[in-house]
C-alpha cells in the first residue's frame, strides 16, 4: 500500500490514512468535540453574569454556529477556513485576556483549559483538512476572492 498518496479535499491535498482514505467518522467526531467544547465555554461565560462575559459567550456561540454552517451547508464550505481561524484566534485572545486581567478563580482556569483544547483541536482539524496551516491560509485567502460561475 502506498502511504504517500494524497486525496483531494476541497482545494487542499490531504495525506491518506492507513486504510486508503481519511476517516469520515474521525473527522465528524473531531468537529463534534470542537463544537461541544465551544458551546460549553459559551455556556460558562453566559452564566457568569456581566456584559463582558455575556458578549464573550455570544461570540463563542456565533463562532460555533459559523463552524457548523461552513461544514454543513455546501455553498458556505469555501469559508470553512475562516471559521476555523476565527475560532482559534478568539479562544487564544480570550486566554490572553484572562491571563492579563483576571479575575483568577477555579472555573476560570478550567474554562481556559477548555479553550486551550479548542485551539489544539482546531489546529488538528486544520492539519487534517488543509494539510497544515499554510494550506489553511491559502484556502482562507482564496475564499475571499469572488467566485466565478462554474467554480466550486
pTM: 0.77
Using pLDDT thresholds of 50, 70 and 90, give the confidence band for residue 129. Answer: confident
* Model pLDDT for residues 21-50, shown as the tens digit of each residue: 558 888 889 999 999 999 999 999 999 989
Burial level of 103, CB count in 10 A (0-12/13-18/19+)? exposed
Quick check: bond before 151 cis, omega within 30? no
Amino acid at each position: 500500500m502506498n502511504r504517500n498518496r494524497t486525496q483531494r479535499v476541497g482545494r487542499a491535498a490531504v495525506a491518506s490514512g492507513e486504510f486508503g482514505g481519511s476517516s469520515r467518522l474521525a473527522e465528524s467526531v473531531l468537529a463534534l468535540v470542537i463544537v461541544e467544547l465551544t458551546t460549553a465555554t459559551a455556556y460558562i461565560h453566559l452564566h457568569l453574569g456581566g456584559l463582558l462575559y455575556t458578549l464573550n459567550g455570544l461570540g463563542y456561540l456565533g463562532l460555533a454556529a459559523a463552524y457548523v454552517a461552513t461544514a454543513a451547508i455546501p455553498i458556505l464550505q469555501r469559508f470553512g477556513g475562516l471559521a476555523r481561524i476565527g475560532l482559534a484566534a478568539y479562544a487564544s485572545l480570550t486566554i490572553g485576556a484572562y491571563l492579563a486581567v483576571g479575575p483568577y478563580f477555579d472555573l476560570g482556569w478550567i474554562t481556559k483549559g477548555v479553550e486551550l483544547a479548542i485551539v489544539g483541536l482546531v489546529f488538528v482539524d486544520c492539519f487534517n483538512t488543509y494539510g497544515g496551516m499554510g494550506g489553511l491560509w491559502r484556502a482562507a485567502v482564496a475564499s475571499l476572492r469572488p467566485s466565478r460561475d462554474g467554480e466550486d
